[in-house]
């Protein structure tokens, strides 16, 4: 008996689905990684004026809102960990 | 009122031409006046799939360039009185036609036909722009594979930007045996990813190759693909047709033939 079969990893169907989901997020947003990096740096710079943030672990993302990511409106989400509110 | 439907996919080889031929033939069989337009200039194929390759005199580019009238380029189908084909040119390239010219020709055809079906070339360049220019409805064809789905998503984005009236999805070459083993995405997975309405599932069927060899459409016949195309045509007309459960058919036949194959 093949033990590998019992402790099988993800099926190729699931792998395909997961890969596509990630791939299509970046495909649907027409924005280069360089530009995203520049936006990120600028946002960090501005916020840093008012509070102490963890610029290393901050994340930004552009998503389309609406029916399952096929909507017309796009929004920019930023997740910025705050280290100290009072600088 | 006539409808102009473009059959597109982004990726090549997923079954646009087969779909165009079968949907066009199916609609004609249901009494609609249909014209199929092959917009793949330089790589014409719809004529061979329809088995009409020996009847071509003039083509799409001749019409656009004013070398002949629209009526002269239209080839009457061998099977259905109300079905016509506008073949593409084999010797020119895609730049021979521009989207404005296509819109003008489609407008002219609207006066005589109920359905104008445009078989789109692969890619997103000029050929694609030409094919979608005059259309108000789209059938996006994909197979349950990562590359085809990615391209379909791109195409859907481009069609949505053009404000199409209706965009429907056809999942082609689905293999139920692989789905069962978890080695192929299900139709539901594909719909979930692409988020557009599903209008048909065509199972992977060797009869498609056989039919193409013979230059005969499958629609209306008893093959699995033929039945799937028939259902698509009825859904195009707005009928509410349940999806066929091919899995049952397949497992039944596997069981029957399995008896004879044992040892």
pLDDT tens-place string over residues B151-205: 999 999 999 989 899 999 999 999 999 999 999 999 999 999 999 999 999 999 9
Q: What is the pLDDT of residue B76?
A: 98
* pLDDT-above-70 percentage for chain B: 94
In chain A, how many domains are there? 1
Q: What is the pLDDT of residue A70?
A: 64
CB B15 within 8 A of CB B43: no
Q: What is the pLDDT of residue B253?
A: 62
**Nearest-angstrom CA–CA distance, B200 and B173:** 11
In sequence order, the β-bridge partners of residue A76 are A62
Q: Give the residue-averaged pLDDT of B248-257.
A: 62
Between chains, do A70 and B146 touch, taking CB under 8 Å as contact? no
Q: What is the pLDDT of residue A8?
A: 63
**Nearest-angstrom CA–CA distance, A5 and B107:** 59
Among A64-73, B51-60, B121-130, B182-191, whose mean pLDDT is lowest?
A64-73
Domain assignment present for A8: no
Picking from A14, A24, A67, the nearest residue to B193 by CB comes out as A24
- Average pLDDT value for chain B: 93
Q: What is the pLDDT of residue A64?
A: 63
Q: What is the pLDDT of residues A6-32, one digit of tens each?
A: 566 789 999 999 999 888 877 877 667
Residues near B141 by Cβ (< 8 Å), separated by ≥ 6? Answer: B7, B8, B9, B14, B15, B16, B19, B152, B170, B172
DSSP secondary structure of chain B: --EEEEEE-SSTTSSHHHHHHHHHHHHHHTT--EEEEE--TTS--HHHHHT-GGG-SS-HHHHHTTSS-HHHH-EE-SS-TTEEEEPPPSSS-GGGS-HHHHHHHHHHHHTT-SEEEEEPPSSSSHHHHHHHHT-SEEEEEE-SSHHHHHHHHHHHHHHHHTT-SEEEEEEEEE-HHHHHHT-S--HHHHHHHH-S-EEEEEE--THHHHHHHHT---TTSSSHHHHHHHHHHHHHTT---PPP-HHHHHHHHHHHHHHHH--
Which residues of chain B approach chain A closer than 8 Å at the C-beta?
145-146, 149-150, 153-154, 156-157, 160, 179, 181-186, 189, 192-193, 195-196
| Minimum CA–CA partner of B148 in chain A | A20
CB B189 within 8 A of CB B205: no
Q: How far is B81 from chain A, CA to nearest CA, in Å?
A: 41
Q: Give the residue-averaged pLDDT of B96-104.
A: 95
3-class SS of residue A74: strand
Q: Give the residue-averaged pLDDT of B69-85.
A: 97
* φ/ψ (deg, to 5) at A61: -155, 135
Q: Is the pLDDT of residue B64 over 50?
A: yes
Picking from B146, B156, B181, the nearest residue to A16 by CB comes out as B146
- Average pLDDT value for chain A: 80
Between chains, do B184 and A14 touch, taking CB under 8 Å as contact? no
Between chains, do A70 and B160 touch, taking CB under 8 Å as contact? yes
Domain assignment present for A38: yes
How would residue A3 be classed by pLDDT, with cut points 50, 70 and 90? low
Domain assignment present for A58: yes
Question: Which range marks the domain in which residue A70 is found?
Answer: 32-87
Q: Is the pLDDT of residue A45 over 50?
A: yes
How would residue A72 be classed by pLDDT, with cut points 50, 70 and 90? low
Among A66-80, B60-74, B90-104, B155-169, whose mean pLDDT is lowest?
A66-80
Residues near B112 by Cβ (< 8 Å), separated by ≥ 6? Answer: B33, B35
**CATH class held by domain B3-261:** alpha beta
Q: Give the residue-averaged pLDDT of B215-221.
A: 95
3-class SS of residue A79: strand
Q: Is the pLDDT of residue B73 over 50?
A: yes
Q: What is the pLDDT of residues B221-249, one digit of tens each?
A: 999 999 999 999 999 999 999 998 776 66
Q: Is the pLDDT of residue B51 over 80?
A: yes
DSSP secondary structure of A4-69: HHHT----HHHHHHHHHHHHHHHHHS---HHHHHHHHHHHHHHHHTTSEE-GGG-EEEEEE-SGGG
Q: Is the pLDDT of residue B148 over 80?
A: yes
Domain assignment present for A68: yes
Between chains, do A68 and B145 touch, taking CB under 8 Å as contact? no
Neighbours of B26 (CB within 10 A): 26
**Nearest-angstrom CA–CA distance, A45 and B128:** 44
Q: Give the residue-averaged pLDDT of B68-83.
A: 97
Between chains, do B146 and A12 touch, taking CB under 8 Å as contact? no
Between chains, do B182 and A28 touch, taking CB under 8 Å as contact? no
Q: Is the pLDDT of residue B262 over 50?
A: no
Residues of A whose CB is below 8 A from B193: 17, 20-21, 24
Domain assignment present for A6: no
How would residue A37 be classed by pLDDT, with cut points 50, 70 and 90? confident
- Domain-by-domain residue ranges, chain B? 3-261
Domain assignment present for A12: no
Among B59-68, B82-91, B242-251, whose mean pLDDT is lowest?
B242-251
Residues of B whose CB is below 8 A from A24: 150, 153, 193
């Amino acid at each position: 008996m093949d033990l590998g079969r019992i402790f099988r990893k993800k099926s190729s169907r699931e792998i395909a689905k997961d890969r596509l989901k990630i791939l299509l997020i970046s495909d649907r947003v027409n924005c280069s990684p360089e530009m995203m990096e520049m936006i990120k740096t600028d946002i960090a710079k501005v916020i840093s004026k008012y509070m102490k943030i963890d610029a290393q672990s901050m994340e930004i993302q552009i998503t389309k809102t609406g029916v399952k990511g096929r909507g017309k409106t796009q929004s920019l989400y930023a997740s910025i960990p705050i280290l100290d509110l009072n600088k | 009122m006539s409808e102009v439907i473009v059959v597109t996919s982004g990726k090549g080889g997923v079954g646009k031409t087969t779909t165009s031929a079968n949907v066009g033939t199916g609609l004609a069989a249901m009494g609609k006046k249909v014209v199929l337009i092959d917009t793949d200039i330089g790589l014409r194929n719809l004529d061979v799939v329809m088995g009409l390759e020996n009847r071509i005199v003039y083509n799409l580019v001749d019409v656009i360039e004013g070398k002949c009238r629209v009526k002269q380029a239209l080839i009457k189908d061998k099977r259905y009185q109300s079905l016509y084909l506008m073949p593409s040119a084999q010797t020119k390239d895609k730049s021979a036609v521009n989207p404005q010219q296509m819109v003008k020709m489609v407008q002219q055809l609207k006066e005589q036909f109920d359905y104008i079906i445009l078989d789109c070339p692969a890619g997103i360049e000029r050929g694609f722009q030409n094919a979608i220019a005059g259309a108000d409805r789209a059938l996006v064809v994909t197979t349950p594979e990562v590359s085809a789905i990615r391209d379909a998503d791109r195409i859907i984005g481009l069609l949505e930007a053009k404000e199409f009236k209706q965009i429907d999805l056809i999942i082609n070459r689905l293999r139920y045996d692989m789905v069962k083993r978890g080695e192929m995405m299900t139709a539901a997975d594909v719909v979930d990813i692409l988020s557009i309405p599903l209008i048909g599932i065509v199972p992977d069927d060797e009869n498609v190759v056989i039919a193409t060899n013979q230059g005969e459409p499958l629609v209306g016949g008893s093959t699995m693909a033929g039945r799937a195309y028939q259902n698509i045509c009825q859904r195009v007309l707005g009928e509410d047709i349940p999806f066929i459960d091919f899995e049952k058919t397949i497992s039944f036949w596997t069981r029957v033939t399995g008896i004879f194959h044992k040892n």
